[in-house]
């Protein structure tokens, strides 16, 4: 249930009163020597669901282009488009059948070039999703590979004999449910697929695969992309002996036995490929963003590379394992990301996980909590990656009947796991028909919350989640402390309020987030850090009572955000 807001709940936005916005400026605000991706705000677009220019119910590239003005005004610097290559769409684009083209459903290569150029004029960069671990089973490489044991591309995939009659080569389980091996009668062997059977894994031990895939990145660099998000990059290599994974107790959410993916996940060989892929990226001033599911700071650290020569932005999904508002747990995860010595990459939602609005919301203060979460991940030291619609408070709209499920994971996992359709529903532009996404029939049903949570309505409401994001992002772009400052945790034993400084030279921004449902009074003693209290200025707050600038006793309402700036 969503609490109605009252007129008195207006944001206090000292910043927007006193300073002009920096939207549309010609140059990024980067300080000298700072790579562009460290100051950029990234925004993930699931192209099927963003904007439909052809009105056939499926979003497309021209649709994205038509919304660049919106993205610029929001404060987005780079867009990551999930796969828009030709694909049979078994996994909605993550099954690529041609890496050097655009799926006709999304447009043409010329449309893509046009989009890149238009975005460039607005100083927005585009990164592609690089499905590096597997192809579609309809890719010509795989069609050739499966045609005979001696075909040119046979060794581009992982083929093995079964253990015995009807038995796959080992006990590896697919992330999409069932065994990770499929028997192919044409040649009488099994092929390995970590994901769906229609997504055979490439054999990265074959140098020809590396060459061909690196060439794919060169192709897109020539088309003006500024980097790649590396899909499922943990999974590139498999144990050459294909040893069985240790079996754990219980079942996973797809109903399969739980195993420890010791022999097919995060093998050391990954790093050799990443170093070479990074060299190609460096030649193109490009960034590599990683879909890196790590379990420890040590694993995350490894992805940056021993010489900072692998992935610049490995996503820290450990941050997302904090699935509730818990100041101590977020504090611990931030410390962990900071301890790697790398530049952190924070996300709170994406096309594979329940929307943050639902994960963190308590059903009563969902809007306040959405703002609180924004104030967290957009003010930490690092690069944030937003997920489309997060800035509106879009919610999940999960299917209620199995026959409506589109996601292959939902089809296998039903009813225990309903799949990922719920977080992929169309962007909510207006309160009109189909939320202004399409004049056709949308490929997934629009979340009913669109009547209130949409770009048009929220743009007119100074208290909306969207306006909060806009102000926050504008602040972030212009404030050197938010862009570059150190992260200094404050009041570390406070169980309810997460607070920290972003400290830069003689300046600092203090962020205080009340993660509890009760009033909290906090004392910030910054004298030891050398900051005088005299020049405190409120930057942004959701407090309804007048914000306090005396830091020895700050009263924070439930789920409120309080951000102030100091200088020495
Ligand atoms: C990644 C993608 C996910 C996809 C899978 C297989 O995890 O984020 O959506 O299903 O890879 O490509």
Residue 386, in any domain of the structure: yes
Q: What is the pLDDT of residue 202?
A: 99
Residue 242, in any domain of the structure: yes
Going from the first residue of the chain to its last (568 residues), give the mean pLDDT of each consecutive group of 10, the final group possibly shorter: 28 32 34 82 98 98 98 98 98 98 98 98 98 98 98 98 94 97 98 98 98 98 98 98 97 93 98 98 97 98 97 97 96 98 98 98 97 98 98 98 96 94 98 98 98 98 98 97 96 98 94 98 90 79 84 93 92
Structure tokens of 13? 């936005």
Instruction: Please report the atom of ligand 1 found closest to the CA of residue 194.
Output: 6
Residue 279 and residue 151 in one domain:
no
Concatenating the DSSP letter of every residue in 112-150 gives HHHHHHHHHHTT-EEEEEEE-SB--TTSHHHHHHHH-TT
Give the C-alpha distances (Å, rounded to integers) separating 494 from 331, 336, 517, 559, 565: 10, 18, 14, 15, 21
Other C-beta atoms within 10 Å of 335: how many?
13
Residue 150, in any domain of the structure: yes
Residue 85 and residue 108 in one domain:
yes
- Ligand 1 centroid distance, CA of 219 (Å): 22
Residue 326 and residue 245 in one domain:
yes
Q: What is the pLDDT of residue 358?
A: 97
State which H helix or E strand residue 278 sits in.
helix 269-282
State which H helix or E strand residue 251 sits in.
strand 247-251
Per residue, the 3-state secondary structure of 187-242, as one string, reads: CCEEEECCCCCCCCEECCCCHHHHHHHHHHHHHHHHCCCCEEEEECHHHCCCCCCC
CATH of the domain at 184: 3.90.400.10
- Cα 514 to its chain centre, rounded Å, is 25
Task: Out of 476, 508, 524, pick the residue that ends a domain.
Answer: 476
Assess whether the C-beta atom of 90 lies below 6 angstroms from ligand 1.
no
CATH of the domain at 329: 3.20.20.80
Closest C-alpha among 236, 231, 382 to residue 316? 382
Residue 167 and residue 109 in one domain:
no
DSSP-derived 3-state class of residue 53: coil
Q: What is the pLDDT of residue 173?
A: 97
Structure tokens of 472? 């926050």
Residue 182 and residue 329 in one domain:
no
Asked if 126 and 226 touch (Cβ cutoff 8 Å), the reply is: yes
Instruction: Please report the atom of ligand 1 found closest to the CA of residue 133.
Output: 12
Residue 433 and residue 472 in one domain:
yes
Residue 27, in any domain of the structure: no
Residue 379 and residue 455 in one domain:
yes
Asked if 345 and 80 touch (Cβ cutoff 8 Å), the reply is: no
Residue 156, in any domain of the structure: yes
Residue 179 and residue 252 in one domain:
no
Four-residue CA torsion sign, 325, 329, 330, 333: negative
Asked if 197 and 411 touch (Cβ cutoff 8 Å), the reply is: no
For the question of residue 283 being annotated catalytic, the response is yes
Q: What is the pLDDT of residue 2?
A: 27
Tell me the whole-structure pTM to 2 decimals: 0.94
Residue 121 and residue 146 in one domain:
no
- Ligand 1 centroid distance, CA of 254 (Å): 15
Q: What is the pLDDT of residue 538?
A: 93
- Ligand 1 centroid distance, CA of 83 (Å): 10
Calpha distance 134→24 (Å, rounded): 39
State which H helix or E strand residue 70 sits in.
helix 68-74
Specify the number of domains making up the chain: 2
Assess whether the C-beta atom of 423 lies below 6 angstroms from ligand 1.
no
What residues contact residue 225 under an 8 Å CB cut-off, 6+ apart? 116, 125, 126, 127, 128, 286
Q: What is the pLDDT of residue 34?
A: 82
Assess whether the C-beta atom of 201 lies below 6 angstroms from ligand 1.
no
Residue 522, in any domain of the structure: no
Residue 559, in any domain of the structure: no
What residues contact residue 4 under an 8 Å CB cut-off, 6+ apart? none
Q: What is the pLDDT of residue 533?
A: 60
Assess whether the C-beta atom of 347 lies below 6 angstroms from ligand 1.
no
* Residue 398 lies in domain: 38-136+206-476
Residue 180 and residue 75 in one domain:
no
Tally of CA atoms within 13 A in the half-sphere of 466 that contains its CB: 22
For the question of residue 458 being annotated catalytic, the response is no
Asked if 390 and 373 touch (Cβ cutoff 8 Å), the reply is: no
Task: Out of 476, 508, 530, pick the residue that ends a domain.
Answer: 476
Q: Which of 77, 231, 238, 367 is catalytic?
A: 231
Instruction: Please report the atom of ligand 1 found closest to the CA of residue 420.
Output: 9
What residues contact residue 456 under an 8 Å CB cut-off, 6+ apart? 429, 430, 431, 436
CA dihedral angle for residue 479, residue 480, residue 481, residue 482, rounded to 10 degrees = 60
- Bond prior to 415 in cis (omega within 30° of 0): yes
Residue 186 and residue 322 in one domain:
no
- Ligand 1 centroid distance, CA of 189 (Å): 26
Assess whether the C-beta atom of 351 lies below 6 angstroms from ligand 1.
yes
Residue 416, in any domain of the structure: yes
- Ligand 1 centroid distance, CA of 341 (Å): 28
Asked if 135 and 213 touch (Cβ cutoff 8 Å), the reply is: no
Q: What is the pLDDT of residue 15?
A: 32
Assess whether the C-beta atom of 232 lies below 6 angstroms from ligand 1.
yes
Q: What is the pLDDT of residues 297-325, one digit of tens each?
A: 999 999 999 999 999 999 999 999 999 99
Calpha distance 4→193 (Å, rounded): 48
Residue 177 and residue 129 in one domain:
no
Task: Out of 192, 221, 256, pick the residue that ends a domain.
Answer: 192
Give the helix, strand, coil percentages of the chain, each rounded to 5: 30, 20, 50
Asked if 107 and 62 touch (Cβ cutoff 8 Å), the reply is: yes
Structure tokens of 179? 């065994």
């Amino acid at each position: 249930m969503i609490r109605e807001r009252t007129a008195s709940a207006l944001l206090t936005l000292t910043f927007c009163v006193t300073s002009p916005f920096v939207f549309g400026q010609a140059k990024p605000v980067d300080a000298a020597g700072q790579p562009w991706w460290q100051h950029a705000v990234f925004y993930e677009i699931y192209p099927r669901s963003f904007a439909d220019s052809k009105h056939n119910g499926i979003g497309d590239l021209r649709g994205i282009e038509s919304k660049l003005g919106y993205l610029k005004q929001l404060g987005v610097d780079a867009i990551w488009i999930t796969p828009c290559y030709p694909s049979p769409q078994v996994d909605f684009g993550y099954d690529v059948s041609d890496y050097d083209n655009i799926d006709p459903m999304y447009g043409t290569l010329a449309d893509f070039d046009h989009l890149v150029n238009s975005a460039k004029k607005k100083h927005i960069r585009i990164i592609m999703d690089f499905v590096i671990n597997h192809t579609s089973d309809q890719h010509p490489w795989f069609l050739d590979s499966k045609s005979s044991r001696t075909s040119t591309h046979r060794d581009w995939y992982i083929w093995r004999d079964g253990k015995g009659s009807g038995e796959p080569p080992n006990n590896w389980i697919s992330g999409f449910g069932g065994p990770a091996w499929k028997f192919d009668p044409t040649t009488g062997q099994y092929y390995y697929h970590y994901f769906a059977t229609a997504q055979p894994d490439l054999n990265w031990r074959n140098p020809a695969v590396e060459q061909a895939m690196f060439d794919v990145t060169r192709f897109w660099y020539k088309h003006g992309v500024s980097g790649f998000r590396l899909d499922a990059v943990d999974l590139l290599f498999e144990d050459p002996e294909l040893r069985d994974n240790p079996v754990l107790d219980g079942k996973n959410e797809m109903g399969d036995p739980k195993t420890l993916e010791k022999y097919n996940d995060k093998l050391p060989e990954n790093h050799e490929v990443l170093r070479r892929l990074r060299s190609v990226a460096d030649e193109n001033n490009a960034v590599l963003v990683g879909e890196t599911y790590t379990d420890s700071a040590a694993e995350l650290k490894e992805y940056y590379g021993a010489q900072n020569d692998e992935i610049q932005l490995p996503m820290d999904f450990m941050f997302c394992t904090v699935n509730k508002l818990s100041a101590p747990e977020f504090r611990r995860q931030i410390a962990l990301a900071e301890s790697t010595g790398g530049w952190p990459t924070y996300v709170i939602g994406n096309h594979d996980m329940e929307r943050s609005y639902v994960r963190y919301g308590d059903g009563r203060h969902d809007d306040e909590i959405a703002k609180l979460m924004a104030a967290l991940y957009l003010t930490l030291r690092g690069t944030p990656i937003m997920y489309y619609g997060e800035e509106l408070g879009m919610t999940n709209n999960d299917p209620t009947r199995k026959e409506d499920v589109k996601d292959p994971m939902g089809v296998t996992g039903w009813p225990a796991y309903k799949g990922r359709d719920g977080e992929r529903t169309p962007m909510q532009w207006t309160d009109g028909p189909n939320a202004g996404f399409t004049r056709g029939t949308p490929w997934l049903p629009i979340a009913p919350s669109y009547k209130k949570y949409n770009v048009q309505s929220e743009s007119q409401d100074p208290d909306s989640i969207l306006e909060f994001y806009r102000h926050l992002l504008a602040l972030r772009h212009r404030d050197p402390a938010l862009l570059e400052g150190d992260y200094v945790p404050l009041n570390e034993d406070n169980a309810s309020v997460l607070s920290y400084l972003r400290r830069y030279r003689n300046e600092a921004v203090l962020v205080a987030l009340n993660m509890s449902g009760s009033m909290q009074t906090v004392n910030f003693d910054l004298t030891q850090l050398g900051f005088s209290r005299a020049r405190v200025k409120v930057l942004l707050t959701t407090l309804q009572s007048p914000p306090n600038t005396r830091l020895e006793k700050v009263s924070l309402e439930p789920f409120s955000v309080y951000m102030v700036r100091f200088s020495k």
